[in-house]
A and B are shown apart, each in its own frame.
Chain A
Amino acid sequence: MEWASWNEFWSMGGYGLYVWGSYAAVVVGILIEVILLKRGQSDTVRRLRRLQSWESQ
Protein backbone atom coordinates (compact mmCIF):
# COMPACT_ATOMS: atom_id res chain seq x y z
CA MET A 1 0.00 0.00 0.00
CA GLU A 2 1.36 3.38 -1.04
CA TRP A 3 -0.88 5.64 0.99
CA ALA A 4 -0.73 6.49 4.70
CA SER A 5 -4.13 8.22 4.66
CA TRP A 6 -7.03 9.11 2.37
CA ASN A 7 -5.81 12.69 2.34
CA GLU A 8 -2.54 11.55 0.90
CA PHE A 9 -4.41 9.45 -1.64
CA TRP A 10 -6.53 12.35 -2.86
CA SER A 11 -3.61 14.78 -3.06
CA MET A 12 -1.56 12.40 -5.27
CA GLY A 13 1.71 13.93 -4.15
CA GLY A 14 0.54 17.38 -5.22
CA TYR A 15 -0.62 16.16 -8.63
CA GLY A 16 -4.23 15.62 -7.53
CA LEU A 17 -5.68 18.12 -10.01
CA TYR A 18 -3.98 16.43 -12.96
CA VAL A 19 -4.56 12.81 -11.97
CA TRP A 20 -8.19 13.27 -10.88
CA GLY A 21 -8.86 15.74 -13.70
CA SER A 22 -7.96 12.94 -16.12
CA TYR A 23 -9.96 10.23 -14.41
CA ALA A 24 -12.98 12.50 -13.98
CA ALA A 25 -13.05 13.15 -17.74
CA VAL A 26 -13.04 9.41 -18.44
CA VAL A 27 -15.89 8.80 -15.96
CA VAL A 28 -17.96 11.66 -17.41
CA GLY A 29 -17.26 10.57 -21.00
CA ILE A 30 -18.29 6.98 -20.36
CA LEU A 31 -21.40 8.03 -18.41
CA ILE A 32 -22.50 10.29 -21.25
CA GLU A 33 -21.95 7.57 -23.84
CA VAL A 34 -23.84 4.93 -21.84
CA ILE A 35 -26.77 7.28 -21.13
CA LEU A 36 -27.00 8.37 -24.78
CA LEU A 37 -26.78 4.75 -25.87
CA LYS A 38 -29.60 3.61 -23.56
CA ARG A 39 -31.75 6.55 -24.55
CA GLY A 40 -31.03 6.02 -28.25
CA GLN A 41 -32.02 2.39 -27.92
CA SER A 42 -35.45 3.06 -26.44
CA ASP A 43 -35.97 6.03 -28.80
CA THR A 44 -35.32 3.80 -31.79
CA VAL A 45 -37.78 1.14 -30.64
CA ARG A 46 -40.43 3.75 -29.85
CA ARG A 47 -40.01 5.51 -33.19
CA LEU A 48 -40.09 2.27 -35.18
CA ARG A 49 -43.21 1.13 -33.31
CA ARG A 50 -44.92 4.40 -34.16
CA LEU A 51 -43.89 4.10 -37.81
CA GLN A 52 -45.16 0.56 -37.91
CA SER A 53 -48.60 1.28 -36.47
CA TRP A 54 -48.83 4.28 -38.75
CA GLU A 55 -48.02 2.20 -41.82
CA SER A 56 -50.40 -0.62 -40.94
CA GLN A 57 -53.38 1.72 -40.88
Chain B
Amino acid sequence: MSIAWYKYAAPVTFYHLAGRLAPWFAWGAALLTVIGLYIGFFVAPTDFQQGEAYRVIFIHVPAAWMSMFIYLVMAFWSAIGLAWNTRLSFMMARALAPTGALFAFLSLWTGAFWGKPMWGAWWVWDARLTSALILFFLYVGIMALWAAIDDRRRGDKAGALLTLVGAINIPIIYFSVKWWNTLHQGASISLTKAPTMATVMLVGMLVMAFAAWFYTIAVALVRVRSIILERERQTEWVKEILER
Protein backbone atom coordinates (compact mmCIF):
# COMPACT_ATOMS: atom_id res chain seq x y z
CA MET B 1 0.00 0.00 0.00
CA SER B 2 1.35 3.38 -0.85
CA ILE B 3 0.30 6.51 0.95
CA ALA B 4 0.03 9.63 -1.14
CA TRP B 5 2.14 11.85 1.11
CA TYR B 6 2.14 14.72 -1.34
CA LYS B 7 -1.63 14.81 -0.95
CA TYR B 8 -1.25 15.69 2.73
CA ALA B 9 1.27 18.37 1.86
CA ALA B 10 -1.49 20.29 0.12
CA PRO B 11 -2.71 22.99 2.54
CA VAL B 12 -6.40 22.24 1.84
CA THR B 13 -6.06 18.56 2.77
CA PHE B 14 -3.89 19.28 5.76
CA TYR B 15 -6.26 21.95 7.04
CA HIS B 16 -9.08 19.41 7.34
CA LEU B 17 -6.81 16.62 8.58
CA ALA B 18 -5.42 18.89 11.31
CA GLY B 19 -8.94 19.86 12.33
CA ARG B 20 -9.91 16.21 12.77
CA LEU B 21 -6.73 15.19 14.60
CA ALA B 22 -6.30 18.10 17.02
CA PRO B 23 -9.10 17.14 19.48
CA TRP B 24 -7.75 13.59 19.80
CA PHE B 25 -4.30 14.85 20.71
CA ALA B 26 -5.79 17.39 23.12
CA TRP B 27 -7.81 14.73 24.96
CA GLY B 28 -4.82 12.38 24.88
CA ALA B 29 -2.68 15.09 26.48
CA ALA B 30 -5.28 15.66 29.21
CA LEU B 31 -5.57 11.94 29.98
CA LEU B 32 -1.80 11.42 30.04
CA THR B 33 -1.37 14.44 32.32
CA VAL B 34 -3.86 13.03 34.83
CA ILE B 35 -2.13 9.65 34.80
CA GLY B 36 1.34 11.20 34.95
CA LEU B 37 0.49 13.50 37.85
CA TYR B 38 -1.17 10.66 39.74
CA ILE B 39 1.99 8.57 39.39
CA GLY B 40 4.17 11.57 40.19
CA PHE B 41 2.37 12.63 43.36
CA PHE B 42 0.63 9.54 44.70
CA VAL B 43 2.60 6.51 43.54
CA ALA B 44 6.22 7.66 43.31
CA PRO B 45 7.95 7.55 46.72
CA THR B 46 9.88 10.31 48.45
CA ASP B 47 13.43 10.64 47.13
CA PHE B 48 15.98 9.60 49.72
CA GLN B 49 18.32 12.49 48.84
CA GLN B 50 16.05 15.31 47.74
CA GLY B 51 12.89 14.62 49.77
CA GLU B 52 9.75 15.90 48.03
CA ALA B 53 11.56 18.63 46.08
CA TYR B 54 12.46 16.16 43.35
CA ARG B 55 8.79 16.06 42.25
CA VAL B 56 9.58 19.08 40.07
CA ILE B 57 11.24 16.52 37.77
CA PHE B 58 7.85 15.44 36.38
CA ILE B 59 7.48 18.76 34.60
CA HIS B 60 11.06 20.01 34.41
CA VAL B 61 12.47 17.17 32.31
CA PRO B 62 9.50 16.91 29.90
CA ALA B 63 9.58 20.71 29.40
CA ALA B 64 13.33 20.68 28.76
CA TRP B 65 13.07 17.73 26.36
CA MET B 66 10.21 19.34 24.45
CA SER B 67 12.04 22.67 24.18
CA MET B 68 14.92 20.90 22.44
CA PHE B 69 12.83 18.51 20.40
CA ILE B 70 10.46 21.17 19.05
CA TYR B 71 13.52 23.10 17.95
CA LEU B 72 14.83 20.09 16.04
CA VAL B 73 11.44 19.61 14.36
CA MET B 74 11.43 23.31 13.40
CA ALA B 75 14.94 22.92 11.98
CA PHE B 76 13.74 19.88 10.02
CA TRP B 77 10.80 21.80 8.49
CA SER B 78 13.05 24.78 7.81
CA ALA B 79 15.52 22.60 5.91
CA ILE B 80 12.72 20.97 3.90
CA GLY B 81 11.20 24.36 3.18
CA LEU B 82 14.48 25.88 2.03
CA ALA B 83 15.34 22.86 -0.12
CA TRP B 84 11.99 22.27 -1.83
CA ASN B 85 10.14 25.51 -1.20
CA THR B 86 7.17 23.61 0.19
CA ARG B 87 4.62 26.03 1.59
CA LEU B 88 3.38 23.86 4.42
CA SER B 89 6.89 23.36 5.86
CA PHE B 90 7.32 27.03 6.70
CA MET B 91 3.81 27.15 8.14
CA MET B 92 4.64 24.21 10.42
CA ALA B 93 7.81 25.93 11.62
CA ARG B 94 5.81 29.04 12.45
CA ALA B 95 3.12 27.03 14.21
CA LEU B 96 5.64 25.28 16.47
CA ALA B 97 7.78 28.21 17.62
CA PRO B 98 5.51 29.74 20.31
CA THR B 99 5.06 26.37 22.02
CA GLY B 100 8.80 25.76 21.86
CA ALA B 101 9.40 29.11 23.47
CA LEU B 102 6.86 28.30 26.19
CA PHE B 103 8.56 25.01 27.03
CA ALA B 104 12.01 26.63 26.96
CA PHE B 105 10.76 29.23 29.42
CA LEU B 106 9.13 26.60 31.64
CA SER B 107 12.29 24.49 31.70
CA LEU B 108 14.20 27.54 32.97
CA TRP B 109 11.52 28.50 35.48
CA THR B 110 11.03 25.01 36.93
CA GLY B 111 14.81 24.57 36.92
CA ALA B 112 15.19 27.71 39.01
CA PHE B 113 12.53 26.50 41.46
CA TRP B 114 14.36 23.21 41.75
CA GLY B 115 17.85 24.72 41.87
CA LYS B 116 17.03 27.08 44.75
CA PRO B 117 16.31 24.40 47.38
CA MET B 118 18.91 21.92 46.05
CA TRP B 119 21.84 24.17 45.07
CA GLY B 120 20.95 27.25 47.09
CA ALA B 121 20.73 29.44 43.98
CA TRP B 122 17.94 30.29 41.54
CA TRP B 123 20.45 30.68 38.75
CA VAL B 124 24.09 29.92 38.04
CA TRP B 125 25.96 30.60 34.81
CA ASP B 126 26.91 27.00 34.14
CA ALA B 127 27.02 25.53 30.64
CA ARG B 128 23.67 23.70 30.81
CA LEU B 129 21.70 26.64 32.15
CA THR B 130 23.37 29.17 29.87
CA SER B 131 22.84 27.11 26.71
CA ALA B 132 19.19 26.51 27.71
CA LEU B 133 18.77 30.28 28.13
CA ILE B 134 20.25 30.77 24.66
CA LEU B 135 17.65 28.32 23.31
CA PHE B 136 14.87 30.49 24.78
CA PHE B 137 16.43 33.60 23.19
CA LEU B 138 16.66 31.77 19.85
CA TYR B 139 12.93 31.05 19.89
CA VAL B 140 12.16 34.67 20.76
CA GLY B 141 14.64 35.91 18.13
CA ILE B 142 13.15 33.74 15.39
CA MET B 143 9.62 34.91 16.17
CA ALA B 144 10.78 38.53 16.28
CA LEU B 145 12.45 38.09 12.90
CA TRP B 146 9.24 36.72 11.39
CA ALA B 147 7.27 39.59 12.89
CA ALA B 148 9.74 42.17 11.58
CA ILE B 149 9.75 41.07 7.93
CA ASP B 150 6.55 42.02 6.09
CA ASP B 151 7.29 40.01 2.97
CA ARG B 152 6.09 36.57 3.97
CA ARG B 153 8.41 34.56 1.72
CA ARG B 154 11.49 36.50 2.75
CA GLY B 155 10.44 36.19 6.37
CA ASP B 156 10.03 32.43 6.00
CA LYS B 157 13.49 32.08 4.52
CA ALA B 158 15.24 34.36 6.99
CA GLY B 159 13.55 32.57 9.90
CA ALA B 160 14.48 29.18 8.48
CA LEU B 161 18.09 30.22 8.10
CA LEU B 162 18.29 31.51 11.68
CA THR B 163 16.62 28.30 12.90
CA LEU B 164 19.19 26.15 11.10
CA VAL B 165 22.16 28.17 12.35
CA GLY B 166 20.80 28.04 15.90
CA ALA B 167 20.41 24.26 15.73
CA ILE B 168 24.09 23.97 16.68
CA ASN B 169 22.95 24.92 20.19
CA ILE B 170 20.94 21.72 20.64
CA PRO B 171 23.89 19.27 20.85
CA ILE B 172 25.64 21.87 23.01
CA ILE B 173 22.73 21.81 25.48
CA TYR B 174 22.53 18.04 25.41
CA PHE B 175 26.22 17.33 25.91
CA SER B 176 26.97 20.36 28.09
CA VAL B 177 26.78 18.24 31.24
CA LYS B 178 29.45 15.95 29.78
CA TRP B 179 31.74 18.46 28.11
CA TRP B 180 31.90 20.91 30.98
CA ASN B 181 31.98 20.58 34.72
CA THR B 182 28.45 21.76 35.42
CA LEU B 183 26.49 22.21 38.61
CA HIS B 184 23.59 20.69 36.70
CA GLN B 185 23.54 16.91 37.08
CA GLY B 186 24.27 14.57 34.19
CA ALA B 187 21.59 12.76 32.21
CA SER B 188 19.55 10.26 34.25
CA ILE B 189 18.46 8.60 31.05
CA SER B 190 20.57 7.82 28.03
CA LEU B 191 20.45 5.43 25.13
CA THR B 192 23.64 3.67 26.15
CA LYS B 193 23.16 3.12 29.88
CA ALA B 194 20.42 1.88 32.17
CA PRO B 195 18.52 4.80 33.75
CA THR B 196 19.86 5.94 37.11
CA MET B 197 16.48 6.51 38.71
CA ALA B 198 13.73 4.43 40.30
CA THR B 199 11.34 2.81 37.83
CA VAL B 200 8.16 4.47 39.18
CA MET B 201 9.76 7.90 38.94
CA LEU B 202 10.95 7.12 35.44
CA VAL B 203 7.49 5.94 34.35
CA GLY B 204 5.85 9.07 35.78
CA MET B 205 8.35 11.25 33.95
CA LEU B 206 7.89 9.44 30.64
CA VAL B 207 4.09 9.64 30.86
CA MET B 208 4.41 13.39 31.43
CA ALA B 209 6.80 13.61 28.49
CA PHE B 210 4.19 11.93 26.27
CA ALA B 211 1.57 14.34 27.61
CA ALA B 212 3.82 17.24 26.58
CA TRP B 213 4.17 15.64 23.15
CA PHE B 214 0.42 15.31 22.66
CA TYR B 215 -0.16 18.84 23.90
CA THR B 216 2.42 20.23 21.49
CA ILE B 217 0.92 18.37 18.52
CA ALA B 218 -2.61 19.53 19.39
CA VAL B 219 -1.61 23.16 19.81
CA ALA B 220 0.58 23.21 16.68
CA LEU B 221 -2.22 21.68 14.59
CA VAL B 222 -4.71 24.31 15.75
CA ARG B 223 -2.20 27.09 15.16
CA VAL B 224 -1.22 25.91 11.70
CA ARG B 225 -4.89 25.96 10.65
CA SER B 226 -5.10 29.70 11.24
CA ILE B 227 -1.85 30.18 9.36
CA ILE B 228 -3.17 28.13 6.43
CA LEU B 229 -6.40 30.16 6.26
CA GLU B 230 -4.46 33.37 6.31
CA ARG B 231 -2.03 32.36 3.58
CA GLU B 232 -4.56 30.66 1.34
CA ARG B 233 -7.26 33.26 1.68
CA GLN B 234 -7.34 33.95 -2.06
CA THR B 235 -8.26 30.34 -2.83
CA GLU B 236 -11.81 29.18 -3.44
CA TRP B 237 -11.86 26.64 -0.63
CA VAL B 238 -10.90 29.21 2.00
CA LYS B 239 -13.51 31.62 0.64
CA GLU B 240 -16.09 28.87 0.99
CA ILE B 241 -15.08 28.18 4.61
CA LEU B 242 -15.24 31.87 5.47
CA GLU B 243 -18.70 32.25 3.96
CA ARG B 244 -20.12 29.59 6.25
Q: When chains A and B are docked, how far (Å) is the Cα of A21 from the Cα of B139?
A: 24
Given A18-B56, A19-B56, A37-B219 in contact, is the A29-B242 Cβ separation under 8 Å?
A: no
Any A CB within 8 A of the CB of B98: yes
Q: Among A12, A22, A33, A37, which residue has its beta carbon within 8 angstroms of that of B109?
A: A22
Most buried by A among B45, B55, B105, B229: B55
Contact B239 A15 (CB under 8 A): no
Interface of B is mostly: helix
Given A13-B46, A13-B52, A15-B51 in contact, is the A52-B239 Cβ separation under 8 Å?
A: yes
B41 CB → nearest A CB, Å:
8
- Annotate A21-57 by CB proximity to B: 1 below 8 A, 0 otherwise: 1110110011001100100110011001101100000
Q: When chains A and B are docked, how far (Å) is the Cα of A14 from the Cα of B102?
A: 28
The residue in chain A whose Cβ has the minimal distance to the Cβ of B115 is: A18
Interface of A is mostly: helix
Give A contacts to B, CB under 8 Å: 1-3, 9, 12-15, 17-19, 21-23, 25-26, 29-30, 33-34, 37, 40-41, 44-45, 48-49, 51-52
Sampled A-B contacts (26; CB under 8 Å): A2-B41, A2-B44, A2-B46, A3-B42, A13-B46, A14-B52, A17-B113, A18-B53, A19-B53, A19-B56, A22-B60, A22-B109, A22-B114, A25-B109, A26-B63, A26-B110, A29-B105, A29-B106, A33-B102, A34-B219, A41-B222, A41-B226, A44-B230, A49-B242, A51-B233, A52-B243
Any A CB within 8 A of the CB of B128: no
Most buried by A among B51, B52, B222, B233: B52
Any A CB within 8 A of the CB of B116: yes
